[in-house]
Structure 1
């Protein structure tokens, strides 16, 4: 890919700018440009789209997105050390890359990008789950994004696509599958990164459903799901006590009080959320 964009290899960029990955920032740099190109192709044609990238680091995925034809990329980077390397990429692709130094939790991408907006990111491990939940639970639907293509630890990716009755099924699976269609697009070994993490990673691709599996208020849905899985080994009549009269709530939703969270479908969680809303 360096031959395509005329920029030096990533290892050289990292060495020249002193970009040793920082554990405190959850950084593991992906240096294999063949892999970054594969990730950039997951969302499909981005030539007429805007892309939000979180935690670009030295810019391996950024370069891939631009080389694969993304119309405009907004890179949000918290680590100021990475800004000179990203500035070099912006210079190589005039007008197609904008960089914001800041925390992705505090940046409103709609203030900087025009739809359709696709999110493509090798998310820092420390913030990945929180960002995903935020993107899945806005008050209104459909969301600002047209797709999410996100890298996580493989264990987290498995939890996003898990089905009821499996060990991995939990809060992330319910929230993701309630409003999106989610799949694992590819997996990556530790040695693809610098420094190598202790676990495999996976890229999850999520596309919003036109309508959720079942209607429910997003904030209430998140509250119900969190309560249910915080004590997943308990029957729901015990796990949901913090929400009020659990027995009555379950009866209203048509869910047996002896059920456990891991056995409920997404639609049943939405029924619980509607019942809780109705009870005020």
Structure 2
């Protein structure tokens, strides 16, 4: 991350809470972030980068951790990350499931950012949109040119603010199941797909799912209602 404006925009969204930075690289964000938060743990997979950032950020409130964030988890109220492209979806689900996270400030591929804030009926709308929108209030805080990073990616990036509005519980766990089942046939009639994929009565499905809607046209609240029915059985 080498764009000063992007770094400044990220810092403006963070609060002073205990924070985890996922993937600190050589510390171009870390050296500023440590001065804004109560404590900062950095989870970095590359051992070379850990050595570099540990030599640059010399502060007793800084904790460098060599590891895989998908395995270590977050465990702190705030997470900041320029999410690795190849594991972005997995990272988002991991953050969503971790109720200790109340705020996430994330830089990710613009395409993924568009998916997260997509509205029902749009091409970008999918199961990740539903899960994240049910759990968080989202805001796109900016879009940044590939030149904001070294190495330079091939696509633009978005900066997103996620603030938790609901805890991950047994019902949301069922939302994961419902979205996985229904979005496998996203363009088919939603009620017919649900009849074949979910263990719910026709009476319940008729009450919750509009008869004329296809799967990708359903509001997040419809998936939640289906999950609540499954969780109560």
Give, in angstroms, the shift of residue 37 of structure 1. 2.4
Give, in angstroms, the shift of residue 85 of structure 1. 1.1
Q: 2:40 is paired with a residue of what secondary structure? A: strand
Residue in 2 that maps onto 1:149: 105
Deviations 1:36-68 (Å, cap 9, x if unpaired)? Answer: 12212213x32xx1111111111112122124x
Residue in 1 that maps onto 2:135: 179
Give, in angstroms, the shift of residue 237 of structure 1. 3.6
Deviations 1:238-278 (Å, cap 9, x if unpaired)? Answer: 43323345745523x52135421221111111111122233
Structure exhibiting the larger radius of gyration computed from Cα positions: 1
**Gapped regions of structure 2 (runs ≥ 5):** none
Residue in 1 that maps onto 2:154: 198
Structure 2: how far apart are the matches of 1:107 and 1:75? Answer: 11
Show the 5 A alignment for 1:258-273.
258-273=212-227
Give, in angstroms, the shift of residue 135 of structure 1. 2.0
Give the number of aligned pairs. Answer: 232
Structure 1: how far apart are the matches of 2:188 and 2:175? Answer: 19
Show the 5 A alignment for 1:1-280.
30-43=1-14, 45-46=15-16, 49-67=17-35, 69-91=36-58, 94-110=59-75, 117-138=77-98, 143-209=99-165, 217-240=171-194, 241-244=196-199, 247=202, 249-251=204-206, 253-278=207-232, 280=233
- Tell me, yes or no, if the aligned pair for 2:27 and 2:57 is still in contact at 8 Å: no
Q: 2:29 is paired with a residue of what secondary structure? A: helix
Give, in angstroms, the shift of residue 184 of structure 1. 0.5
Q: 1:134 is paired with a residue of what secondary structure? A: helix
Give the superposed CA RMSD.
2.2
**Gapped regions of structure 1 (runs ≥ 5):** 1-29
Deviations 1:168-203 (Å, cap 9, x if unpaired)? Answer: 111122111112110111111111111211111001
- Tell me, yes or no, if the aligned pair for 1:185 and 1:204 is still in contact at 8 Å: yes
Taking structure 1 as reference, are residues 61 and 122 closer, same or farther at Cα in structure 2, changes over 3 Å only? same
- Tell me, yes or no, if the aligned pair for 2:74 and 2:95 is still in contact at 8 Å: no
Structure 1: how far apart are the matches of 2:193 and 2:11? Answer: 41
Taking structure 1 as reference, are residues 218 and 210 closer, same or farther at Cα in structure 2, changes over 3 Å only? closer
Q: 1:185 is paired with a residue of what secondary structure? A: strand
Deviations 1:3-54 (Å, cap 9, x if unpaired)? Answer: xxxxxxxxxxxxxxxxxxxxxxxxxxx12234212212213x32xx111111
TM-score normalised per structure 1: 0.76
